[in-house]
A and B are shown apart, each in its own frame.
Chain A
Amino acid sequence: DSGVTQTPKHLITATGQRVTLRCSPRSGDLSVYWYQQSLDQGLQFLIQYYNGEERAKGNILERFSAQQFPDLHSELNLSSLELGDSALYFCASSAQGENEKLFFGSGTQLSVL
């Protein structure tokens, strides 16, 4: 158990819909990262937050947004969903000063039908 909690584990929705994925980082970790893993693209970095502020942005679509709340949990919002958004979405957290030692959650499997 990494200590990072992601909900829900599975999500099935239709094209055009909007969903929210939730992540609770390990206790004390200030950084939260979101990654997308699809069969053809591998693990893709989406976005990083540090103590409520956006720190780094990767290959995140404009239809996607994220935020980190004062209690440090984070949410990834995906809107106008397309079939190609079907993927595993992972959240990870890291301790201060250890930006590359990430602890990953078990992921949310999103299926867009």
Chain B
Amino acid sequence: DAKTTQPTSMDCAEGRAANLPCNHSTISGNEYVYWYRQIHSQGPQYIIHGLKNNETNEMASLIITEDRKSSTLILPHATLRDTAVYYCIASGNTPLVFGKGTRLSVIA
């Protein structure tokens, strides 16, 4: 799996969009970008994934640059319940390897 780099922590005001960046400059052509989050000590939760096109679901949007070397997870209207550690993973057909992620704090 390609290595990913994420900021250690970020803050976001409640109701604003949270934009979480991820760098994966060594990603290979068959590797997808996956985003998970972990709220406190709960099990990680799948958010979204994509290969090269932008993706949107009920939780978030995923924007992948054209060269696929980086991506951004967008939570359009962050709430206090979105406070969590967010993991960006670049993976082929192998078990996911979680890094340290970004600790997002949503502030009232």
A interface with B by C-beta (< 8 Å): 2, 4, 33, 35, 42-43, 45, 48, 56, 58, 88, 90, 92, 99-107, 109
CA distance A8 to B51 in the complex (A): 37
Q: Which residue of A lies closest to B34 (CB)?
A: A100
Q: How many residues of B contact A (CB 8 A)?
A: 22
A104 x B45 contact (CB < 8 A): yes
* Neighbouring B residues of A99 by C-beta, 8 Å: 93-95
The main secondary structure of chain B at its interface with chain A is: loop
Name, among B41, B46, B49, the residue most crowded by chain A CB atoms within 10 Å (CB to CB).
B46
B43 x A92 contact (CB < 8 A): yes
Q: How far is the CB of B75 from chain A (nearest CB, A)?
A: 19
The main secondary structure of chain A at its interface with chain B is: strand
A100 x B96 contact (CB < 8 A): yes
* Neighbouring A residues of B94 by C-beta, 8 Å: 56, 99
* Neighbouring A residues of B93 by C-beta, 8 Å: 99-100
Given known pairs A56-B94, A99-B93, A101-B49, the reply for A42 and B99 (CB within 8 Å) is yes
Q: How far is the CB of A103 from chain B (nearest CB, A)?
A: 7
Q: How far is the CB of A96 from chain B (nearest CB, A)?
A: 12
* Neighbouring B residues of A109 by C-beta, 8 Å: 41
A104 x B43 contact (CB < 8 A): yes
Given known pairs A45-B95, A99-B95, A100-B32, the reply for A105 and B43 (CB within 8 Å) is yes
